[in-house]
Amino acid sequence: MMMAGAAKTLTNLCPSFPFPTKPQNQLTTSHAFPSTRLRHRAISAVANAAQPPLAAATATEGQYRVDVLSESLPFIQKFRGKTIVVKYGGAAMKSPELQASVINDLVLLSCVGLRPVLVHGGGPEINSWLGRLNIPAVFRDGLRVTDADTMEIVSMVLVGKVNKTLVSLINKAGATAVGLSGMDGRLLTARPAPKAADLGYVGEVARVDPAVLRSLIDTSHIPVVTSVAADESGQPYNINADTVAGELAASLGAEKLILLTDVAGILEDRNDPDSLVKKIDIKGVKKMMEDGKVGGGMIPKVNCCVRSLAQGVITASIIDGRVPHSLLLEILTDEGAGTMITG
C-alpha cells in the first residue's frame, strides 16, 4: 500500500505505541516510500556492493527512518497546534487491526502537536445488542427508526460501551482521552428531525457549546464524543455522527474535518473505483451532486462537509478508512487517502 511503510515508521515516534519496530523489506514494498527520491536512495544503499550485507541493511533502515521523519516535518509544522475533528466509523470500527491503526494514528498526531477530537457512532454494535434483546432494527430512508426502547439501547451502547472502549484504547496507547456525549457540559442540544413522526427519537443538532471541549483540548486531552444528545426538556436523541462531527468542527474553528468511510472517496464515475477525485472545491462538488455523480450514502457526507466549510472549517476530507494508517496518509503526505474538499 502506498505510504504504508512511512506511516508505520511515523507511528514509532511515541515509544508507548504497540507497533513492531522492524521495518518492512524495502525491496519488496517499494510503495512504502514517501517519494521516488527516497525510494531510489534506499535502493541504492541496499545495492551498494562495497558495504558488508549487514552494514548495508542497517544503514538503509536507519536512513529510511530519518528520511520519512524529515519529509514529515513540513506537514507537522503546518498542522501543529491546529484542531482536527475525525469522525470514526465503518470498517475501521469493525476490524480490530484497523481500529488499532486509527487509535495509534490519533495518539501520534497528538504527540507531534495536533489537537484531535474523535467523534463516533456505532451502528453495528447497536444492531448486535438489539438482536440480543429481540428488538427489531428498523430503517426508513437509511435512517434508524428509534422508538423509546431503541433509544434506551442506543444510549447504553454508544455512551456506556463504545465510547468508554475507545477512551480505554486511546489511554492504553499512551495519550489521555475523555469520553463525552452531547449531554455532557451542554456540548450539544438536540431537536427532533423533520421526519420525527416516522423516525421517533432521531434528532438534529440545534446548538453547540464547545466550552467543555476547549478546556480538554487546551490541556492536551483527546475528547471522544458520541452522537447522543438531549433536547431542552432532557429527552435523548440519536443524531447522525457525521452531522455531529461537522457541527463540532465548525464550532471549534477546526483546521480539518475528516470522515472515515468504507469507500475510496468521491468518484468521478461511481462505477469506476479508479476515478477518485483527489481534490475539489465546494462549487465543483455541488456540480457533481447536480449531475448525479454523487449519490446514495455519499450525499449526506458531502453535505456535512460543505456545511462545515461554509462555517469556517478550512478543509474537509472523505477518506478510505479501510486503508491502514489512513489518517497519517491524509494529514502527513501530499498523496492523501481520499477526497479533500476546499472552501
> Does residue 120 sit in helix, strand or coil?
strand
Residue 242 is a catalytic residue:
yes
Grid cell locating 12 = 514509532
Beta strand pairing call for 188-192 and 202-208 = antiparallel
Catalytic option among 87, 179, 246, 336: 87
Residue keyed to cell 489521555: 176
By the 10 Å C-beta count (0-12 exposed, 13-18 middle, 19+ buried), 213 is classed as: buried
Residue 198 is a catalytic residue:
no
Is residue 169 within 8 A of residue 107, CB to CB? The reply is: no
Dmax (CA) of the chain:
77
Helices 163-172 and 96-111: crossing angle in degrees, nearest 10, is 60
Catalytic option among 123, 179, 321, 336: 123
44, containing H or E segment: helix 36-47
- Give CA–CA dist 328/318, Å, rounded: 14
Catalytic option among 122, 200, 301, 320: 301
Catalytic option among 179, 242, 246, 336: 242
- Give CA–CA dist 338/2, Å, rounded: 13
- Give CA–CA dist 204/244, Å, rounded: 8
Is residue 337 within 8 A of residue 276, CB to CB? The reply is: no
Integer-rounded Cα radius of gyration of the chain = 21
Residue 301 is a catalytic residue:
yes
Catalytic option among 5, 67, 89, 90: 90
- Give CA–CA dist 107/247, Å, rounded: 23
Query: CB-side exposure of 190: number of CA atoms within 13 Å?
Result: 28
Residue 164 is a catalytic residue:
no
What residues act catalytically? 87, 90, 123, 242, 301
